[in-house]
């Protein structure tokens, strides 16, 4: 097998693997209900630092 065929096949496998990873992440993201997403966002907001010191102004 020539080197360019191997490189083409490796590229195709890489693109396919990337598509699988993206599809899996999308499925995982869509598995949340709107209420679960809202609860998670509220929890992240409660944990986030607030005030002028948190903004990094010097």
Predicted pLDDT of residue 53 = 64
* Mean pLDDT in residue range 50-58: 62
DSSP 31: T
What are the tens digits of pLDDT across the range 21-42?
Answer: 999 998 888 888 889 989 999 9
Give the N- to C-terminal CA distance of the chain in Å, as an integer.
60
What distance in Å separates the CA atoms of residue 56 and residue 58, rounded to the nearest whole number? Answer: 6
DSSP 2: -
What are the tens digits of pLDDT across the range 5-26?
Answer: 899 999 999 999 999 999 999 8
User: Which residues, at least 6 apart from 40, have a Cβ–Cβ distance to it below 8 Å?
Assistant: 32
Indicate whether this model's pTM tops 0.75.
Answer: no
């Amino acid at each position: 097998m020539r080197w360019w065929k191997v490189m083409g096949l490796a590229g195709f496998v890489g693109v396919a693997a990337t598509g699988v990873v993206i599809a899996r992440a999308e499925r995982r993201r869509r598995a949340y209900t709107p209420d679960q997403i809202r609860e998670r966002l509220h929890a992240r907001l409660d944990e986030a630092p607030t005030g002028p010191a948190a903004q990094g102004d010097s």
